[in-house]
Structure 1
Amino acid sequence: MTAAHHLPTAAGSGASATERFKTDKSGNAGDTPAERVDLLAREVLEAVHATIRRQKVTYDEYNALKAWLIEVGEAGEWPLFLDVWVEHVVEEVATEHRQGNKGTIEGPYYAPDAPDQGHRGVVPMRENEPGTPLTWTGRVMSVDGEALPGATVELWQADADGLYSQFAPGIPEWNLRATFTADADGRFEIRTIRPAPYQIPTDGPCGKLIAAAGWHAWRPAHLHVKVSAPGHERLTAQLYFPGDQHNDDDIASAVKPELMLDPRSHGDGETVSYDFLLDRA
């Protein structure tokens, strides 16, 4: 995996994810009616109470949980914990009405306003960035097949060490992050590198949970995208590669068959084709 001097700490990554969430997304919770808060809080607590009764949870286990929850908060790992183990169900419920492309979780490492590379360009990366060159061509359309000129495709991905720019030290701000704007026919071409599988941070409390439960921490290789166009619902997805050993046991439970790419060898790299159909808003 990563050389030790480049490894970010879970606390550092968690703090970055927490601050990003506070900046971009935390302002909407106050609009939830009290009746809805009461219903959700009661059902969550009832599920916890039922588990305690069914499993005869001891005080030692309860205190271990309390200590762990405190540590998750102090380490800033709530975004990591929720995005890895909870978000996939929220996404499933929130998008079950859609007729267009399937989506999946956003995860904790999105950053808005990545540089726009037009409809055809290269994702910003360091000189000699490790990875197999990958060219992705695609088209953005409405569910009725109408091309969506000017649609945006935001892409972000981890580097070969599994690290994301803006969430790990020593990486240029927009490394492996870009926005592409579809042409008059809704087409785009993205040149990047094939991502690598990686482990989520394991030196913090989420890592302690993984070790205590005997789980693994691996995510399969994936490209993150957000696709949007006026008058249409934004699609958030991750695109995966066949043959990855963790496609079937992703720690984040985010892989779907509809999100699998079909890479073809081409020269010294690979090519893929993948289109998007967006639902009308």
Structure 2
Amino acid sequence: MTETTTFEQATAAASGAAATEQFRSKQRTGTSDVDTGRVDTLVSDLLAATHDIIRRHKVTYAEYDALKAWLIRVGEDGEWPLFLDVWVEHVVEEVANESREGSKGTIEGPYYVPDSPRLPADASLPMRDDEKGTALLFQGQVRSVDGTPLAGATVEMWHADSDGLYSQFAPGLSEWNLRGTIVTDGQGNFKIHTIEPAPYQIPTDGSCGKLIAAAGWHAWRPAHLHLKVSAPGHQLITTQLYFKGGQHVADDIASAVKPELVLDPAPAADGNGRDVTYDFVLDKA
């Protein structure tokens, strides 16, 4: 497969604006209380690390001015959610979940939208009649760390289409395309019929793209499924699942791949696409 994509249709400005609005909406419904002592510690350490970089690398005024111009451009492009989710979030997730006993998590990313359509335990994600891509049956069980099946657990799934595009962040896609919330059956089981997503580049026409080009990096994320799995009395797990042998699994720009999160689908028995089983184990709240 050649590294081509139509993701450029989803411009940095449009994707950035959508991601920023989603984040602001989450902040309006959540809590933003932060202890002042923690703010003092974290910001002081961040500034000290910045000062150390400047001294060690003898940063020039020309480089400093270029940084200021770039930081201003990130804000103008609405790309702070993209920048932070691609290059910072994976470490925040690592620290937040270091004591988790159940399934591994990873980053949420900037393209999550809450309140996707609720679907039964055996369901197809909403998609176009002519949706392109290899059919995928993703099935498994949600259970507690003690092995108890979790009936009525919710498995939220969202992912890009076969062109690497996300609904609500790219033109021409219906609102809930390839997004849904599946409710497990009495034994905690689920079956989700969907298509395999494609690898994609994060938008490169904005300020994040300029950073990537200046540093000589690539902009690619491997194909992946996004999931949020929850049940009453248990901790929510946010994760992404990748595909064995897929492009950029070994060099994800977002550094979000973990060995436990790599799927190995098998050809479907009926010859139509591929099947894979993956169970989720949730920690008690």
Fold match, TM over 0.5?
yes
The residue that corresponds to 1:277 in the other structure is 281
The residue that corresponds to 1:207 in the other structure is 209
The RMSD of aligned alpha carbons is: 1.2
The residue that corresponds to 2:82 in the other structure is 80
Q: CA deviation at 1:30?
A: 4.0
Q: CA deviation at 1:263?
A: 0.3
AA in 1 matched with 2:215: A
1:233 to 232, 235, 249: 235
Gaps of 5+ in 1: none
Gaps of 5+ in 2: none
User: What pairs with 1:177-188 in structure 2 (closer than 5 Å)?
Assistant: 177-188=179-190
Q: Does 1:194 align with 2:188?
A: no
The residue that corresponds to 1:11 in the other structure is 13
CA offsets, 1:224-278, max 9 Å, x none? Answer: 0000000000000000100013111100000000001120001121000000000
Q: Alignment partner of 2:75: what SS?
A: helix
The residue that corresponds to 1:57 in the other structure is 59
TM-score, normalised on structure 2?
Answer: 0.96
In structure 2, what is the Cα distance between the partners aligned to 1:113 and 1:29? Answer: 19
CA offsets, 1:105-147, max 9 Å, x none? Answer: 0000000111111101000001111110000110000001001
Matched-pair contact (CA < 8 Å) for 2:19–2:110: yes
User: What pairs with 1:128-147 in structure 2 (closer than 5 Å)?
Assistant: 128-147=130-149
CA offsets, 1:46-91, max 9 Å, x none? Answer: 0000000000000000000000000000000000000000000000
In structure 2, what is the Cα distance between the partners aligned to 1:68 and 1:208? Answer: 9
CA offsets, 1:207-229, max 9 Å, x none? Answer: 00000000000000000000000
In structure 2, what is the Cα distance between the partners aligned to 1:28 and 1:38? Answer: 22
AA in 1 matched with 2:132: P
Matched-pair contact (CA < 8 Å) for 2:5–2:200: no
The residue that corresponds to 2:175 in the other structure is 173
Q: Alignment partner of 1:251: what SS?
A: coil
In structure 2, what is the Cα distance between the partners aligned to 1:28 and 1:42? Answer: 26
Matched-pair contact (CA < 8 Å) for 2:135–2:273: yes
1:219 to 206, 217, 221: 221
Q: CA deviation at 1:34?
A: 1.0
How many pairs were matched up?
280
Q: Alignment partner of 2:136: what SS?
A: strand
Q: CA deviation at 1:26?
A: 5.6
In structure 2, what is the Cα distance between the partners aligned to 1:236 and 1:25? Answer: 18
In structure 2, what is the Cα distance between the partners aligned to 1:27 and 1:76? Answer: 21
Q: CA deviation at 1:28?
A: 5.1
In structure 1, what is the Cα distance between the partners aligned to 2:20 and 2:232? Answer: 29
